[in-house]
Structure 1
């Protein structure tokens, strides 16, 4: 079955990982640095949200395909030199979609766990 939310979420993960990896490459980081910056950029907000709500296991632990995808992307970004030609303007739309989806999903998770609208909105923005 086609799940539009999952597709949008993965689009956001990819876009955020790319933006982090572009920065890491511009700083001449090694593959571990490229992976780390991509991972934190893509999944850091949701990790922080889950830790603050004591929501275990963390989202990316339940959905291991996301860090695996980021790892594969880091390898490509580290060794494929044409990747430097990617302009940030090309990831603006996926980045905006991911930002919106992450905000909505983060707020909804907080509401589902019984938090107030105010706390949910803060956690949604953090996500």
Structure 2
């Protein structure tokens, strides 16, 4: 008998699996700041998943995911802009930017990258 946890195949869980811990924590704080939780997710449009599934020998990915949350008549939309450059040797380049807008016109932007700024 094989047991499969269906959550692992949900687009939002797959998106979370692609995030590094600081980006994942930033997304959690963003949701909390707006008063939402994962259970309020209505729709997750995961472009990165589609790119990864259709990639053959690709080493660079970029695009936007859309997350729609709703509760008690209030809504937020999170645009997740991402870039990934996979390297054969060394650390992959990761960039995540979460732009959250509420239906009451509140807005917050959080950015994460694993790239170090060169010292001057």
TM-score (ref. length: structure 1): 0.28
Higher share of residues assigned strand: 2
Q: Per residue, is there more helix in 1 or in 2?
A: 1
* Larger RCO (CA within 8 A; separation ≥ 6): 1
